[in-house]
Amino acid sequence: MLVVGLMRLGDQEARLQESFPDIDFKFYKHPSELPIDVQQEMDVLISYHQEVNETFIENAPKLKWIAWYATGVNSLPFETLKEKGIQLSNAGGVHAQQLTEFLFAYILDDYKELKEIYAEQQEKVYNRKRVTPSVKDQHILFLGTGKIPQRAAQVAQILGMKTIGLNTTGHTADYFDETYPISNRQQVYEKADIVVNLLPETVDTRYLLTTEDFKVMNPHTLFVNLGRGTIARETDIVNALRNNSIRKAYLDVFEQEPLDSNSELYQLDNVFLTPHISGSHADNKKLATDIFSNNLKSFLNNGELIENKVNIDKGY
Amino acid sequence: MLVVGLMRLGDQEARLQESFPDIDFKFYKHPSELPIDVQQEMDVLISYHQEVNETFIENAPKLKWIAWYATGVNSLPFETLKEKGIQLSNAGGVHAQQLTEFLFAYILDDYKELKEIYAEQQEKVYNRKRVTPSVKDQHILFLGTGKIPQRAAQVAQILGMKTIGLNTTGHTADYFDETYPISNRQQVYEKADIVVNLLPETVDTRYLLTTEDFKVMNPHTLFVNLGRGTIARETDIVNALRNNSIRKAYLDVFEQEPLDSNSELYQLDNVFLTPHISGSHADNKKLATDIFSNNLKSFLNNGELIENKVNIDKGY
């Protein structure tokens, strides 16, 4: 059996080879370095590259499983995978810790007014009168109630916040005080002080948030996007921030990535931009390889994936 | 019975008068407005002002209880209080939520490199390669294991951190993985990535941390001071930051307050300064009045304080 990685995994490569001595592993720095004869022979692919498109799959006739080393799988050609019966797993959950840390870094940066205080420090101003708002009893609304939102909601609750979750049916989820169907979201926004998108990109979530969504949010809303940039058009977000339909945004993902230096987002004062790094972590390769190893054991045994299998019909 | 407040309590004044209709409450904007005849008649004092010194107490012969509306009581004349049998309560715990929010605002600002990212945003630089360290498995060492450190340690544990506490005897405390006597602290620093001071000022904590303490901390240490500025001399902190004995500091309290605009701290790059505001909250008066009301009920009943009574011998 041949397993091909389209990126180097550092010390995880030796770990895999030791754990699975009968398997042939080949790792390349980049998809462009993959020889066509290897592509035609590979059974399993490790990747997170947009180069893995329909043509790529057509040229990999023996491929049975793609182990995606990221969470968002939206760039993959789902129809082709379905047609060819190729299984898909992702690294969902690996990023929960880092995303949660960024979420609370953002929220506390805003609520504790760190940027304003730091500006005063630069001016040697000691403003003893500043009273910052508390996050206690603030209502935080999550689009999505899966593994990552649950981890974030757990931390929010310990900090004294009220957690509200939106998902397809409005079913309950751990660490959420209330949950509602996402189709009713425009009636739920009025409860929320903070709105956080953690949804993956699917046909259902693409451009889910419209001008109307931002319009009915509270004007003091802090909007955080750690999911996918395609949840809303950039122009709609820019307008909402410019018209003060919402107070402020912290954005890690964008409709077009990398963000163009001409983006109007760079012109606004009430937005904080991070370059799609909220899931990045030095340990991600190790954690994703933990999932891969568990799946590989099972795959060798009976052809089934047991962890983080993506439902190709649903797209997550 | 006459209860005097040396500051206005807003809507808490009517609340107290309604709850205790038989008591005479008088509130003044500032200690300087207190008439001497009222001072001589008062039984209970609500204050947090440094004007409450030995002379002030001598001119209040009927005073039986000082309800301090702050946590740190170090400015009070303890010997005089003891001599006259005046009881003391403070507002300890009221500030736990805000202090905890500031602590994690600081830590996540540092670990998620928000200031560096924001500087790049100003330059329209989209640096996709940045990988920020995680707080997971980082060791956070608290000087103090009382109510406030316990609240902070609870949040630290949920974020995946390891919590170490220092107190007088090394006794265990809720939410601490390990505890040690504060006298052994120089042997404990090597375990710590983050060192947080939350100790009150007492004769034992004044200038507790010396050059030697900073020297034996890990060079990557993040030092946070949310307790009292007199835990260390400012020159020792400046030198530790300048010599890179420690990596960085977030300071809310200072040896001299307000911080002088000539302070060398303003010259350093690896320090973030907030103007002793980490305990300030719009709700503090309400929360401190909750404690005061409970104590007043008990005080009227049997002369005893039941909540947040300060041990005058220990000083906290």
Residue B273: strand, helix, or coil: strand
Our CA-based measurement puts residue A185 at a distance from the nearest CA of chain B, in whole angstroms, of 29
Q: Considering only CB atoms, which chain A residues are within 8 Å of B117?
A: 273-275, 277
The verdict on A207 and A293 lying in the same domain is: no
Which of A160, A9, A34 lies closest to B281 in space, CA to CA?
A160
**Location of structure tokens 């009881």:** B87
Whether A53 is covered by a domain: the verdict is yes
Task: Please check whether residue A274 is in contact with residue B120, taking contact to mean a CB–CB distance below 8 angstroms.
Answer: no
> Phi and psi of B214, rounded to 5°?
-65, -35
pLDDT tens figures, B18-44? 999 999 999 999 999 999 999 999 999
Cα within 13 Å of Cα(B222), Cβ side: 17
Establish if B213 belongs to a structural domain. yes
Position B278 in a domain: no
Same domain, B219 and B309: no
CA distance A261 to chain B (A): 6
Residue B118 lies in a domain: yes
The strand pairing partners of B46, in sequence order, are: B5, B67
Q: Do B274 and A117 touch (CB under 8 A)?
A: yes
The HSE-up count of residue A204 (CA atoms within 13 Å, CB side) is: 12
**Residue from B283, B250, B253, B91 nearest A132 by CA:** B283
| A260 and A197 in a common domain | yes
pTM above 0.90, yes or no: no
Task: Tell whether A182 and A268 lie within a shared domain.
Answer: yes
Which residues face B249 on adjacent strands? B223, B271
Q: Which range marks the domain in which residue B206 is found?
A: 95-273
From A204, A215, A210, A220, select the one nearest A167 (Cα to Cα): A204
* Predicted-complex ipTM score: 0.84
Q: State whether A70 and A126 are in the same domain.
A: no
CA distance A77 to chain B (A): 24
Which residues of chain A have a CB within 8 Å of the CB of B135?
101
CB contact under 8 A, B127 and A275: yes
> If you search the block for the tokens 């010997």, which residue do you land on?
B79
**Residues B245 and B116 grouped into a single domain:** yes
Is B137 at the interface with chain A, CB within 8 A?
no
Q: Is B264 on the interface with A (CB under 8 A)?
A: no
Q: Are residues A44 and A127 in the same domain?
A: no
Mean local confidence (pLDDT), B202-219: 96
Please list every residue in chain B whose beta carbon sits closer than 8 Å to the beta carbon of residue A135. Answer: 101
Are residues B85 and B112 both part of a single domain? no
Q: Cβ of B101 and A109 within 8 Å?
A: no
Q: What are phi and psi of A104, to 5 degrees?
A: -80, -25
Q: Alpha-carbon distance B282 to A136, whole Å?
A: 12
pLDDT tens digits, A261-291: 999 999 999 999 999 999 888 788 899 999 9
Burial A283-292 (b: 16+ CB within 10 A, else e): bbbebbbbbb
Exposure class string for B54-65: b at 16+ Cβ within 10 A, else e: eebbeebeebbb
A278 within some domain: no
Read off the CATH number of the domain in which A16 is found.
3.40.50.720
Q: How remote is the C-alpha of B109 from its chain's centroid? A: 21
Please give the backbone phi and psi of residue A288, each rounded to the nearest 5 degrees, phi first.
-65, -35
Give the C-alpha separation, B122 to A266, whole Å: 8
Terminal-to-terminal C-alpha distance of chain B? 27
Q: Is residue A307 part of a domain?
A: yes
Q: pLDDT 10s digit of each residue in chain A, 316 long?
A: 999 999 999 999 999 999 999 999 999 999 999 999 999 999 999 999 999 999 999 999 999 999 999 888 989 999 999 999 999 999 988 889 999 999 999 999 999 999 999 999 999 999 999 999 999 999 999 999 998 999 999 999 999 999 999 999 999 999 999 999 999 999 999 999 999 999 988 899 999 999 999 999 999 999 999 999 999 999 999 999 999 999 999 999 999 999 999 999 999 999 999 999 998 887 888 999 999 999 999 999 999 999 999 998 887 7
State which amino acid sits at residue B68: W
Q: How far is residue B289 from each of residues A82, A262, A299, B159, B307, measured CA to CA in Å?
A: 65, 53, 63, 32, 12
A266-305 residues touching B, CB cutoff 8 A? 266, 272-277, 280-283
β-bridge mates for residue B27, sequence order: B5
